[in-house]
Structure formats: structure tokens, C-alpha cells
Structure 1
Amino acid sequence: MGDAAGGRRWPAGLLRRSGVRASRVLRGHCGAAAPARLDIDDTVSCFCRKARRKDREGEAAGDPKLYLQEALLERKLPELDMRQLVDLPRGLDYNEWLASHTLALFDHVNLLYGCVSEFCTPASCPDMAGPGGRTYAWYDERGKKCRLAAPQYVDYVMTYTQKTVNDETIFPTKYANEFPAGFEGVVRRVVRLLYHVVAHLYAAHFRSLALLRLHAHLHLTFAHLTALDARYALLDHKETDVLRDLEVALRLTEPAGAGLGAAGAAGLGAAGPGAAGGSADSSPRRREPVVTQPLATA
């Protein structure tokens, strides 16, 4: 992995050492007693036994999703209203607000992936896959589409993001330095790439995260991503469709046909922050953000 701007590297070594420690915990965790309130080990073991039995019996296993099991739907700070977390405080610069959330999401996704990076190898994850058979391809600086194994893809994501946030011309930290005109477009790309990593964690490594008792942290990071997107329309609805069922299960989004209606629920991914029509309460995306600098199109 190459050096990021300023001679710094994203903490891959630290995270991979954390992953080694996590794997030791994981290997010895199956025999440990899980808290009776959650029954995480029992839920994971039962889920895996059912999946193996369906394979042996030749039944169509469909798309098993461990992360939708009721015992594993907890998340940290469940009483927190995520909309309040992402709403722009009065008088604060919009780009500054986006930058702070982008940095927080990058740190959390980076740490979560680092805990299971040892299990994400070219052999176990030959494709960058998300739920429902979704696969992600990397596009280089010339727009060329490249198929990469998941660890290589995540490496590219983390290296690109670290280099971007360390670039003073894009993420300014010094007095009198201004955000570039296309800053929101940069944030859109970073958030989209981080969403891909989160989707891969759910699709390929949720069992490991659950046994390590890190699934609630993943849910909270996902809730943060979802709330930020719902408020400022940073992601295309085609990107978020793969985890729409989890949004509903975590009560982050109304199910299709409830409240907003099917078209309204789908519209959570289609309308931008400046979309016309609809009330402020019906869809957070249709609420105008307070902007102190002009928004650039992505």
C-alpha cells in the first residue's frame, strides 16, 4: 500500500495486528457462553446449520442473511435519533459538516474492516461482493473498469480515502483555506466507496463480526451512513437497494407501502436535498439543507 499525502499511511499494520488478535478471540469464542439476552452464538450456529442442511438436501438456499436475524439487530445507542445527528447546526458551514461526517465514517469503517481483514483474502473473497449477489468493480483514474478481489478493492478504497482526506486542497484544515467547488462530488464518491465496504462486511464477514460482538457497531455505522444519505442525498438509490431490507429491520426506513407508499419509499433514494414537492416530515431528503456555500453537482 502506497504512502498517503504527507508521508502518512492508513493504519493497515495496526488494523491487521488487531485482526490477528480478533481471530484468536474468534477461534476461542465458540465455546464461550454468550449473554442470555442476545444468544448470539446460538443464533449464528443455528443459522449456519440450517444453511448447511439446505445445501445437503439440495434445496434452494436463496440469499441467507444472518444480519436480519432478530437476535443480531441491536446497535449501539439505539435511542439516538440519527436524523438529529446529521442535521446541519445553524451557522455551521455545510462543507465543513460533510467533511466531519466523512472523516468519522472513514475511521469507523476502517476499524471494523481491520478487525476481520485476516479473514478477507483473495481465496475467501475473490470478488468484492455485497448482499444479493451484488458485485463491485473498481474504476481507475482513466475510468477503466477493473475486477478486483475484495481485499485489494478495500485496500484501494482506504488508500484513496486516506490520500483524499490528507489533501489540504480538498479537505482544508488551515485558516483561510477554502473547500473546492466540487467538494460535494468528492464526498459522494468517498461515501459510495465506504458503502461498498460496509455492504461487503454484511455479505461476507457478518458472522465473524457477530461472534466478536462487533455487529452492533457495524449497525450503528450503517445507520449513520443511511441517515447522512437520507438527509443530503449522497448515494444513488441503486447503491442502497442491496441493504434496504436491513434499513427496514433496523427501523431506519419505512417499509414499502407503509407511510410513504411504495413510490415514496423508493423515492428515499431518488430525490435530492433540493427536490421539489413533499413535506419536510414525509421525507428527510426533501428538506432543504442550510447551505453557506454553493453546492457543486456530483
Structure 2
Amino acid sequence: MLQLVFDDCTRMALCLKQVFNKDKTFRPRKKFEPGTQRFELYKKAQASLKSGLDLKVVVRLPPGESINDWIAVHTVDFFNRINLIYGTICDFCTEKTCPVMSGGQKYEYRWQDDHKYKKPTKVAAPLYITLLMDWIETHINNEDIFPTRVGVPFPKNFQQVCKKILTRLFRVFVHVYIHHFDRVTCMGAEAHVNTCYKHYFYFVSEFSLINPRELEPLKEMTERICI
């Protein structure tokens, strides 16, 4: 039995290495166009992350920069990073293992959109996350919401849209931490996932982008690793 567990962990560790090294994600990675202001902001944010600075400092708006550009860059980046995290465990998140999108017995998330699911609907976790990522991609690819052309302003509801995106992305963290963190740990990815979560938490807290009630499912863990 121990040998089987060891073999399983070894296989997943190799898979993890391949996933992280090749930037394989659950959904195609979204990239910023070189030469744009947002690309420069993205490079600045990545440089700060790699510098070893306190994450609480890293998330602060750089002097002279637009807050909407800063939020746009991070919203897309968190979409990419959470895709990467979920991509490492998605083979173990199935309709059989996760028939409901939940965070333990206390928290259940139902899907709703403006198309097929007009009322909150109970769906399996992998379907919920597929619908979520499709929904986010539609928004971040929409020039009316995330404009990429120079001089085109953000819409008045831009931050509200980002709040909804970031709130729903948090639910992926909840599901991964509560239902699949044994796999993450077995793959040796715990530090990576924790760092991504801390970055996310400090960012949404810095700009009040998520209702504190939404953070309740991971409150104890957040107090342990973030505060």
C-alpha cells in the first residue's frame, strides 16, 4: 500500500513539474499584448513578485498608475494562476468525486448566468468550474469591458465586473483547498498554491474587491497564513 501511495505521489509530482514548466492550464493562458501599458504593468507586477518583497507591498498601486489598469492586470493574472492550480488537480475532480460545487458540508455554490442557467442551479464541481472559466473568458475578451486600445476608457461598471470575477474565482480556491489539497500536498505544490492564495487575498483586501462574507470558508486558514 505504501508503495502504491509513493508511486501515486511520484507520478503526480512529475505531472506537476510538467504542468508548471510548460504553463499548461485548465484553460488557455491569457497574455498581455507587448508594447501596451497593461503589458508594462504586468511586467512590473511580476518583477515585484520575484523580488522577494512582502506581498502586502507588492499589491499596492504603483505611483501614477491607473487603478483600473492595475485591477485589470491582476484579474487576468489571477485567472491564469487559478487555471494553472486547478489544471493540476482537474483529473481528480470529477462528477463522481465532486457531484456538487462545494467547500465542505457548510458551503455550496450554485451556478447562474444570463443564458442557460437563469436561476441558481446545483451542478457538479467540474461543470461549475468549466462554466466559470468560460464566463470569465467571455468577459476579459470583451473590448467593451476590458478595453485594450489606447485611449478607450473602462466602462463605469468595470470594478463591479471584476469584483464578481474575483469572487467566483475565490470559490475555486475554496474547492481546491477543502476537497483536493491532499493532492496538492502530495505533488509538492503546497507552497506555490499558498503563495498564490496569499497574493490574491492581499490584493482583493487592498482594494475591497470581495465581500468579507465570501471569505468565510477559508477564514481559519487565511488567519493562519495571511494575517
Taking structure 2 as the reference length, the TM-score comes to 0.76
Distance 1:152 1:31 in 2: 28
| 1:57 paired residue number | none
Q: 1:228 aligns with which of 203, 206, 224?
A: 203
The Cα offsets for residues 135-182 of structure 1, whole Å up to 9 and x where unpaired, read as 111122175111110000000111111111111111111112111110
Q: Is the 8 A contact 1:132 1:242 kept in 2?
A: no
| 1:114 paired residue number | 87
The Cα offsets for residues 105-127 of structure 1, whole Å up to 9 and x where unpaired, read as 00000011011111100000001
Distance 2:152 2:220 in 1: 42
Q: Is the 8 A contact 2:60 2:206 kept in 1?
A: yes
| 1:85 paired residue number | 58
Q: 2:218 aligns with which of 219, 243, 246?
A: 243
**Alignment-mate amino acid for residue 87 of structure 1:** R
Q: Is the 8 A contact 2:101 2:175 kept in 1?
A: yes
Larger Rg: 1
Query: For residues 202-217 of structure 1, what are the structure 2 equivalents within 5 Å?
Result: 202-217=177-192
* Structure 2: runs of 5 or more not aligned: 14-48
Distance 1:80 1:168 in 2: 33
Q: CA RMSD, aligned part only? A: 2.3
**Cα distance, 1:188 vs structure 2:** 0.3
Q: Is the 8 A contact 1:127 1:135 kept in 2?
A: yes
> Moved runs in structure 1, 4+ residues, more than 6 A?
none
Give the stretch that moved more between structures: 145-154 or 124-133: 124-133
Q: Is the 8 A contact 1:129 1:150 kept in 2?
A: yes
What is the aligned length? 185
Cα gap change, 1:90 to 1:30, in 2 (>3 Å): closer
Query: For residues 114-263 of structure 1, what are the structure 2 equivalents within 5 Å?
Result: 114-131=87-104, 133-141=106-114, 143-250=118-225, 252-253=226-227
Q: Is the 8 A contact 2:89 2:183 kept in 1?
A: yes
Cα gap change, 1:157 to 1:31, in 2 (>3 Å): closer
From the two aligned structures, give the one with the greater helix fraction.
2
Cα gap change, 1:78 to 1:175, in 2 (>3 Å): closer
* Structure 1: runs of 5 or more not aligned: 1-25, 35-75, 254-298
**Alignment-mate amino acid for residue 106 of structure 2:** G
Cα gap change, 1:77 to 1:124, in 2 (>3 Å): farther
Q: Percent identity?
A: 30
**Cα distance, 1:229 vs structure 2:** 1.8
Aligned pair 1:28/2:32, yes or no? no
